[in-house]
Every structure is written in C-alpha cells, then in structure tokens.
Amino acid sequence: PRTSAARMTSRWASAAALALMVGPSLAGQQVREIGAGVVMLGRDPVTVVAGPYVGLRTTSRTRVAATAGAGVIVGALAWRGELAVHFLLAPGNRTGAGLYGGGGLALGGSDGDVHGWVLLLVGLEGRPGGASGWFIEAGLGGGPRLAAGWRWRARRH
C-alpha cells in the first residue's frame, strides 16, 4: 500500500505536469516570469524557506506559479514547494501595484516527514505589467503564510 506522502507526491507531480502541458497552449502572448522569494509559516516552530520562483501567465489575467524553497527548522533542513494559480486584478499596470488572489497546493517537510496542504493566498505586486517588480503575499497553507520577493518578466509573442 502507498503511504499518504507517496499519494500526495504523485498528485503534486500530476498537477505540475498538467499545468506545464496545458498552460503554454492557452495564451497567444505569454508573459514568463522568474524570481526569488522567502516564505514564512507562522506555526510552532516557525518555518522560513527561501528559493526560486517561476511563473507563466496563461491568459492576460491568470498565472501559473511554482516556488521551491529550503531553510532550517530547529536545526534540521526544511523544504517546501508550491504550485498555485493566480487571478490578477490589474495585470497591465506598468506603475503602481496590482492585487491578485490565488490557490493551489503546497508540499513540504523536514527530517523525512512530508506533508501536503491546500494553499490560499492574496497578494500585491509592484508594476505587474512592467519588466520587474516586488511582491508580498498573505494566506494559509501549512499554517498562516507570508511571502515576499522579486519577479522579472519577459513577453513571448
């Protein structure tokens, strides 16, 4: 019998594969994003991980985003991966900030202990239609969640 961690890993891999296969075919003009960020989970003990971010705007208002991070929790290595879909309220703003909401899946662990969570978030990003900008997010997914970082964007026609 498969463990719950193995089932969660399989579901995570299936969702990621689906997003990568379907996402590129959904948009004529795509915006690809790369970045880096920090995620903090306000649980006991507090977990902080940092790492890369990649995103693909599948339509003018939607983005598929994946993050990975590593950190330390109580002297042990901690890791976390997230796959989310964002709905952008002001995707073309080249100045100012734009609000977005999203949801998805998160998978993380420490010392061989693996857990999966549903992820819900609301975010604010600087210059969502510009070449780069900051972002901050608040939400839930393995405890109260805060994230911040920077994204660089490139358009593909």
What is the DSSP track for 58-122?
A: SSSSEEEEEEEEEEEETTEEEEEEEEEEEEESSTT-SSSEEEEEEEEEEEEEETTEEEEEEEEEE
With CA atoms as reference, report the closest residue to 64 among 28, 94, 105, 96: 105
pLDDT, residue 111, reads 87
Mean pLDDT in residue range 136-148: 97
- Is the pTM here over 0.85, yes or no? no
Q: pLDDT, tens digit, for every residue of 72-127?
A: 888 889 999 999 999 999 999 999 999 999 999 999 999 889 999 999 999 999 99
71: which 2 tokens?
Answer: 């950190």
Q: pLDDT, tens digit, for every residue of 57-80?
A: 999 999 999 999 999 888 889 999
CB 17, CB 5: distance < 8 Å: no
